Amino acid sequence: MMNNLNATVLLEQITGSLPYFLPEIVCSLVFIVAIFIDLFTRKQSRSLVPFFVFAGLLLALFFTLDQFRMVKEEIWLFNGMIRLSPAGIIYKLLFLLAAMVTHILSIRSKAIRLAPKGYAEFFIMLPVFIVGLNIMSMSSHLLMIFLGMEMVSIASYILVAYMAEQPRSAEAAVKYALFGALSSAVMLYGISLLYGLTGTLSLQGSTFLANLSKAPEYISALAILMVLAGFLYKISAVPFHFYVPDVYEGTPAPVIAFLSTAPKAAGFAVLFTFIGVFTLPMESYHLVWPKFNWENILVFISICTMTLGNLSALAQKNVKRMMAYSSIAHTGFMMMPLLVFSEMSAASLVFYIVVYVLMNLAIFLLVGHMEDAYGATELESYKGLAAFNPLLSVCMVIVLASLVGLPPTGGFTGKFLVFSSVLEAYRISHNPWLLYLLVAAVLNTVIALFFYLRLPLYMYFRKAEKIYTSKTPLYLLVIMCLLVAGILMAGVFPSELVKWISAHTAETAQIRFK
Amino acid sequence: MGYLSLLIFLPLFFALVIWVLPKRFEPMFQALSIGVSAAQVIISAALYYMYSLSPEGFRFAEHADWIYLQLGTLGSLDIDYFVAVDGLSVGLVLLTSIVMFIAAIASNEIKENKRGYFALFNLLGTAVMGVFCALDFFLFYVFYELMLLPLYFLIGMWGGPNREYASVKFFIYTLFGSVFMLLVMAGLYFSVTDPGTGHHTFNMLHMMDEANYSRDAIFSIGSEQAVLFGLPARLIGFAVLFIAFAIKIPVVPLHTWLPDAHVEAPTPISIILAGILLKIGAYGIIRLCLGIFPDGQVYFSYWIGVIGMVSILYGAFNALASSDLKRMIAFSSISHMGFVVLGIASLTSEGLNGAVYQMISHGVLSAMLFFIAGVLYNRVHDRYIPNFRGLALQMPRYTTFVVIAFFASLGLPGMSGFIGEVFTLMGAFKSESVNQLLPRWFAIVSATGILFGAAYFLWTLQRMFFGARRFFGGEAWHRALTDLSARELFVLLPLGLTTIILGVYPSIIFDVTNLSMNTIADHAYRSGSVYLNMLKVIFGL
């Protein structure tokens, strides 16, 4: 009888949760159906699968947007395995945006069209990504976090590996999978330790932290560090960044446009959730938990990440490798708001991520176009581009200014918000490490200028050695202009965007103080 | 839309117009830019006149909400569009529009990619105008940084042979100063509340008022919590802002970008660099360092005086040793801006009034000097001083203006350079008896800078213009070196007249600046001493 009742409640829970899970269900169905479509229509039509997938993404987008209406405060689905919060929906929207832009960039991409192992597979992977990423951004249960991350990781390995043609990119793919598998294993071990210490895998409520506090100090710190390793790998923070430049270099630009944005954003969503557990619901909200000094460890990793990323980027001659290190450096900046668990830091993190996604999509749009049209991958091969492609070049300069963090672009506003939240944390905790972090971040901005400037330097100051004949397709220009308009709007009139973001993220941060 | 907004955004609008106009309008771009800056001259001259009728406080203010964010625990983020001018900035606004006008006329040496050039030129015009008008720190910062990108491209794309190096160096130097300023700005924001709304604010005027600082903030006045790296936070804040602006002026250890940028930049951009950009540094120190951190100014005055003195002498010695005409003028700029720094350091009414006067005078003179160098360079593509001899016989009208510009710069009484230098030196001299910030010998040693100034200007004059005609390029140069054209005369004549008028009748400027500068000097010294005493009690300095 008891069992029956439980089963009924369980079933009700599940059926009750389904309406909130529509985007993910849609994506899963699209994935399965697309495989069959590909199987049966491969000979007749190549464009059917991409078309179908895009339609599926649009449907998922519709359901995701609908969730803003349905979800006003966070709700728990599937017996507390999934937590759907307004902030999570923003992330989901971002993933879809990245996926759709990537989709459009990929349709004409030579590298993907001519991929020997098939053209449609690439598009079929996109909905899988979305499901995994969505689960990552919505989970507050270690098992679900692991599940989501693995799903994304495996999808990434497939994408990188099946695009690999030259031995070099094959090497990158193997590296990627190997490092990834290792970090997953370490993380899983950490999770099992945590489970052993606390008796629960759910991050919801105070049981987890209360039990963990009773555990021996070293073991709990070790377990946390191991789990952290998995997250740091996903956001490509030092010292888990080795694979990034190789993977970027060996993979077509549209794929990187996606891999450098969405999984990283999801990684930050997970990290934010995880760290949130350790903020004590007290008068001050900085990360105080006697057993593990989050603040100093994160500061240290953040400083190392941004400095190493920027310094390595200085030496690069390949645009993709340069952007790989740039994205590592940005990881360092994005880690800054994690140090403070406040409404402001939650909002500034999401704001920075939104702008980062726009910037990276724009950069890889250009890189992809250059690769396709001229086979250009080196900085040298961008010489004198501006004279032939004025609009694209101007857009590029704005994007680069935003990556450096110059006003009036979104990158500047993001940096300003991030710095402000750290400064605010310093005012409360007076931890000198936070000051070192700020100084390091500021110095890094100057270093970053060096290598970001090299792109406009080649595009504008050097004379072209060849004639750039191929016309930029109109749809690329339109997307580029939209992305740049978004970046500029986020810089000149950020009020609405920040208001919207903080309205959705406020609760995520607040919930811990109640 | 008020006058100031019109002044600021007119060039931006035309920058966009130029950017979208079809290619066949290219010959009109320069005329359009000249028209824009001419309109700016008229507007700002009218503003200057209106201000001079009752020269007190901030006027022509425009206030609008720009960015408003509600950020939970942090309270709200209030950023306003707030522009106004006082006696300090109204003169610089007029100077800016005049220099932009001159630069626009001098731009006909630009032959390729006119669209890009004039779009960036006008974008730069918006940025510099905005810097002088903004009274909201955030807005100021946005305009301040907005200058960098256009200048980078203007130097890097239309500059001389070594332009890549020069433009990157310029960019890195300036950004290095200003990113730290960003941190100070954020710190100030959290320390100051608007008495009207109770929100934190970026309003500079609120930042200058002790009453608006909260007790436990980073830059609180007289609070032992205001510590950064174990040092008083307010002194660090001052130092950071000062270094950011000192790079712009530039003062001696931080000056190395300037000769490179000047030598490589095309003539009109050199004119803007020397005429306006250097003034932004000095303006920032007077407005922000003195206004917001007067305690830092009082504390560091001695060393700032030393920096000013060293800049004067070092600039002069380098100018003496330069054999490139443009390089010589660039170093003379460093020397002349040293007087501005010295005047500021004295914190006396004479010193500050003299500093503003010197800024305006140097703005006009350096525009003239760089234009003069450009005249020569455009004809024979050479500026090497030993390559010319006896130019007075070859180009008599040109030589007349060179003589005017050189003599005005070296401080001949009756011309504008003289007044600025004398007043700043007077301020420095007086400081020992008024506020004991600078010892007398600073003034005395700095005065020798005038002597060296005379030396390099006169020596250059003698080497290049007097004696028998002998040119490095031989017969080709004889033919190329024609006397001033009507266009060049049109530029040089009003500039030459201005420096004489300013020299003979300096009250045109002093009447406008006097009240504002007295207030600033008074505030800086009086509240600065009070705050500094608090700091001394707390930190035992």
Domain ranges of chain A: 309-514
Nearest CB neighbour to A423, from listed B70, B142, B187? B187
Render A341-381 in DSSP notation, one character per residue. -SHHHHHHHHHHHHHHHHHHHHHHHHHHHHHHHH---BGGG
Interface predicted TM-score (ipTM) of this complex, two decimals: 0.88
pLDDT at A489: 92
Q: What are the φ and ψ backbone dihedral angles of A288, each rounded to 5 degrees? A: -115, 120
User: Per the CB < 8 Å rule, is A387 touching B168?
Assistant: no
Q: Is the pLDDT of residue A29 over 90?
A: yes
Determine the pLDDT at residue A507: 66
Task: Give the one of A344, A419, A450 whose C-beta lies nearest to B182's C-beta.
Answer: A419
Per-residue pLDDT at A85? 86
B434 to chain A, closest Cα gap in Å: 39
Is A239 near chain B, with CB under 8 Å?
no
Reported as a single tens digit per residue, the pLDDT across B300-322 is 999 999 999 999 999 999 999 98
Query: What pLDDT was estimated at residue A5?
Result: 60
Give the gap in angstroms from C-alpha A88 to the nearest C-alpha of chain B.
19
Distance (Å) from the alpha carbon of B149 to chain A's nearest alpha carbon: 8
- Residue A291 has what pLDDT? 66
Residues in chain B with CB shorter than 8 Å from the CB of A498 are 69, 71
For chain A, give the mean pLDDT: 85
Whether A499 and B218 lie within 8 Å, measured CB to CB: no
A252 has a pLDDT exceeding 80: yes
Chain B residues close to A285, C-beta within 8 Å: 73
Q: Which chain B residues have any C-beta within 8 angstroms of a chain A C-beta?
A: 67-74, 77, 113, 116, 141-142, 145-146, 148-149, 152-153, 156-157, 163-164, 167-168, 171-172, 175-176, 179-180, 182-183, 186-187, 189-190, 216-218, 225, 228-229
| Count of other CB atoms within 10 angstroms of residue B426 | 18
Predicted local confidence at residue A499, as pLDDT: 82
- Search chain A and give the residue with CA nearest B169: A450
Predicted pLDDT of residue B332: 92
Q: Under 8 Å CB-to-CB from B205, ≥6 apart: which residues? A: B58, B135
Taking every pair of Cα atoms in chain B, the longest distance, rounded to a whole number of angstroms, is 77
Nearest to A449 among B141, B171, B218 (CB): B171
Residue B376 phi/psi, 5-degree rounding, is -65, -45
Helices (H), B107-249: 114-133, 137-146, 148-158, 163-191, 204-207, 233-248
In this structure, which long-range contacts are made by residues B506-509, counting pairs with CB atoms below 8 Å and at least 24 apart in sequence?
A: B506/B357, B506/B416, B506/B419, B509/B91, B509/B356, B509/B357, B509/B360
Percent of chain A at pLDDT exceeding 90 = 35
Task: Identify the closest residue of chain A to B116 by CA–CA distance.
Answer: A390
> pLDDT at residue A2 above 70?
no
DSSP-derived 3-state class of residue B183: helix
The CA-based angle A81-A87-A93, given to 5 degrees, is 95
Q: How far is B476 from chain A (nearest CA, A)?
A: 30
Q: Does A513 touch chain B (CB under 8 A)?
A: no
Place of tokens 């460093």: B334
- Which pLDDT does position A38 carry in this prediction? 87
Q: Is there a contact between A460 and B187 if contact means CB atoms under 8 Å apart?
A: no
Rounded CA separation A448/A310 (Å) = 6
B241 neighbourhood in chain A, CB within 8 Å = none
Mean pLDDT of A282-288: 48
Residues of B in contact with A337 (CB under 8 A): none
- Identify the pLDDT of residue B538: 82
Residue of B176, B183, B189 lying closest to A446 (CB–CB): B176
pLDDT single digits (tens) A51-100 = 999 999 999 999 999 888 888 777 888 877 888 888 889 999 999 999 99
Whether pLDDT at A269 is above 70: yes
Residue A422, helix vs strand vs coil: helix
Condensed to tens digits (0 to 9), the pLDDT of residues A235-248 reads 888 888 888 888 88
Check CB contact of A450 with chain B, cutoff 8 Å: yes
The string of pLDDT tens digits covering residues A457-501 is 888 888 887 777 777 888 889 999 999 999 999 988 888 888 888
The per-residue pLDDT for B72 is: 60
For residues B505 and B507, what is the distance between their CA atoms, to the nearest angstrom?
Answer: 6
Q: Is A422 within 8 Å of A436 (Cβ atoms)?
A: no
Q: Can you state the angle between helices A319-335 and A410-429, rounded to 10 degrees? A: 40
pLDDT reported for residue A284 = 45
In whole angstroms, what is the distance from residue A166 CA to residue A173 CA? 11
pLDDT for residue B245: 93
- What distance in Å separates residue B357's CA from the closest CA in chain A? 31
Residue of A336 and B73 predicted with greater confidence:
A336
A423 confidence band (pLDDT: 50, 70, 90): confident
Question: Is pLDDT above 80 for A163?
Answer: no
The Cα of A511 is separated from the nearest Cα of chain B by a number of Å equal to: 13
Name the pLDDT band for A24 (thresholds 50, 70, 90).
very high
Contact A266, A349 (CB under 8 A): no
Q: Is A281 on the interface with B (CB under 8 A)?
A: no
pLDDT given at position A287:
53
Closest approach of A213 to chain B, Cα-based (Å): 27
pLDDT of residue A1: 41
**Do the Cβ atoms of B113 and A408 come within 8 Å?**
no
A376 pLDDT above the threshold of 90: no
* Alpha-carbon dihedral sign for residues A360, A365, A366, A369: positive
d(CA B238, CA B217): 16
> In the structure, what pLDDT confidence band is assigned to residue A283 with cuts at 50, 70 and 90?
very low
Cβ <8 Å between B180 and A457: no
Tell whether A347 lies on the interface with B, counting CB pairs under 8 A. Answer: yes
Spans of chain B below 70 pLDDT: 71-75
Helices A262-276 and A86-107, packing angle to 10 deg:
160
Other CB atoms within a 10 A radius of the CB of residue B70 amount to 17
Is it the case that residue A3 has pLDDT exceeding 60?
no
Q: What is the pLDDT of residue B432?
A: 86
Contacts of A420 in chain B (CB under 8 A): 74, 77, 186, 189-190
Does residue A406 belong to the interface with chain B, where contact is any CB pair within 8 Å? yes
B190:A420 CB<8 A: yes
Contact pairs from chain A to chain B, CB under 8 Å: 111
Check A457 against B164: CB less than 8 A apart: yes
Cα-Cα-Cα-Cα dihedral sign, residues A48, A49, A55, A56: positive
